[in-house]
């Protein structure tokens, strides 16, 4: 039976039930979505057939577009000027610390360069939702909290740009006949520039009709249409949909006074889309290949944490942040979820020969990070004295 609506309803209902169950254990909803997807997917219970999971790529592409669009909305120039260069420096160094250590570790262990490049770039991403949830739950306040909020807001944008560069290089390396310097270096850079440029134009154009369409329903339609247009244009011209939609969000938030309403509407519109995306991500995970990626997974998990801690410490030191920020910021950056899963999906399309390995490494790491990450974030804030006495 090929009943797509039945499968989609099962995904939504099972996902929301799993989210509520894991909440009782004080775990993020995304952990429940991934686990229930794994359970009902084709590799365990088989309630969702493999054919449906493979055919739902449009749903995943749309979810990635909205994730990137929302990340772009964090790039408000007035806000970046207000926080100063310190958090920006920390963000760049902690993200690059994870990239460099994971990349180097995988290469030393003998893994192929294209695989190491993609996993290294994905390692830069953090999970803002899990970190912010801890801050709000325990009413944390202080310099570490302020720095942490700023860093996690910018972190995924750095990850998207790092992935754009890494994926472009990896794709040219694995494509037949692309051995020239142009193909290996300049072509990926051109793809990034064109993706950002077209995304900026899309955000600019989107700003105009918002002046005349005031109702929430109309603005929701505009937002949906423009984000899907961005995803479609990226596919049409073989560009990065993630970078294009991120640039569109960044352009809109800086060019339109109506942008806050648009991003507010996105928060209300996208939860079912994101839920389905994460459940499908779990359904795609094949447990049978986990033994074959054990070393890659272990290196990814350990070296990413080391890179985050070391990079954030160096950035805080150079940015002259307080001692408590230097010492405890890194452990609070361990959570990783949505953007990393999205990037792993994008990587499977770019490098299909390594797709199963990338997905298995990132999804298994995500489950672990989402379990221990919030605990480490709470511990960091408590050690810094920014959580009120319970």
From first to last of its 390 residues, the chain has per-residue pLDDT tens of 468 889 999 999 999 999 899 888 877 677 788 889 989 988 889 899 888 887 887 888 888 888 888 878 877 888 777 767 888 889 999 999 999 999 999 999 999 998 999 999 999 988 776 677 677 667 888 888 888 877 887 787 788 788 888 887 887 777 665 555 555 567 767 878 898 899 999 999 999 998 888 898 899 999 999 999 999 999 898 888 888 998 999 999 999 888 888 888 888 888 888 888 888 888 877 777 667 678 888 999 999 999 999 999 999 898 888 888 888 988 888 888 777 888 888 888 888 888 888 888 888 888 788 778 777 888 888 888 888 765
Residue 158, domain member (yes or no): yes
For position 207, which CATH number holds? 1.20.1530.20
Q: Does residue 1 form part of some domain?
A: no
Report whether 303 contacts 123 (CB < 8 A).
Answer: yes
pLDDT score of 366: 82
Instruction: Look at residue 154 and tell me if it is in a domain.
Output: yes
* Number of domains observed in the structure of the chain: 1
In a domain, 15, yes or no: no
37 in any annotated domain: yes
d(CA 80, CA 107): 35
In a domain, residue 237? The reply is yes
pLDDT of residue 311: 93
| CA-based nearest residue to 158, from 68, 255, 66, 264 | 68
| 12 inside domain | no
- Indicate whether 16 belongs to any domain: no
Domain of residue 238: give its range.
27-383
> What global pTM score does this model have?
0.76
């Amino acid at each position: 039976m090929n009943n797509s609506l039945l499968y989609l309803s099962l995904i939504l209902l099972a996902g929301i039930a799993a989210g509520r169950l894991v909440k009782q254990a004080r775990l993020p909803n995304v952990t429940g979505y991934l686990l229930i997807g794994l359970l009902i997917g084709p590799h365990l219970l088989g309630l969702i057939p493999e054919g449906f999971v493979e055919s739902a790529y449009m749903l995943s592409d749309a979810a990635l577009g909205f994730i990137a669009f929302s990340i772009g909305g964090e790039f408000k120039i007035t806000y970046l000027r207000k926080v100063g260069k310190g958090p920006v420096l920390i963000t760049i160094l902690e993200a690059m610390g994870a990239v460099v250590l994971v990349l180097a570790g995988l290469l030393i262990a003998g893994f192929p360069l294209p695989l190491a490049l993609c996993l290294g770039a994905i390692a830069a991403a953090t999970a803002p939702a899990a970190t912010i949830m801890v801050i709000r739950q325990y009413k944390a306040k202080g310099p570490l909290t302020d720095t942490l909020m700023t860093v996690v807001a910018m972190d995924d944008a750095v990850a998207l740009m790092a992935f754009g560069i890494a994926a472009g290089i990896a794709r040219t390396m694995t494509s037949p006949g692309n051995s020239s310097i142009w193909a290996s270096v300049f072509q990926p850079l051109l793809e990034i520039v064109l993706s950002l440029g077209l995304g900026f134009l899309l955000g600019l154009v989107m700003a105009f009709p918002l002046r005349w369409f005031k109702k929430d329903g109309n603005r929701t339609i505009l937002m949906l249409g423009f984000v899907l247009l961005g995803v479609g244009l990226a596919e049409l011209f073989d560009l990065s949909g993630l970078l294009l939609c991120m640039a569109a969000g960044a352009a809109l938030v800086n060019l339109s006074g109506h942008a806050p309403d648009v991003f507010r509407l996105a928060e209300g519109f996208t939860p079912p889309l994101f839920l389905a995306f994460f459940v499908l991500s779990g359904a795609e995970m094949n447990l049978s290949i986990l033994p074959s990626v054990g070393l890659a997974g272990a290196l990814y998990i350990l070296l990413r944490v080391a890179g985050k801690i070391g990079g954030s410490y160096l950035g805080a030191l150079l940015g002259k942040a307080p001692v408590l920020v230097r010492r405890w910021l890194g452990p609070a950056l361990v959570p990783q979820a949505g953007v990393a899963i999205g990037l792993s999906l994008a990587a499977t399309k770019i490098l299909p020969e390594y797709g199963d390995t990338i997905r298995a490494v990132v999804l298994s790491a995500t489950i672990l990070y989402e379990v221990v990450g919030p605990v480490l974030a709470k511990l960091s804030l408590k050690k810094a004295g920014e959580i009120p006495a319970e």
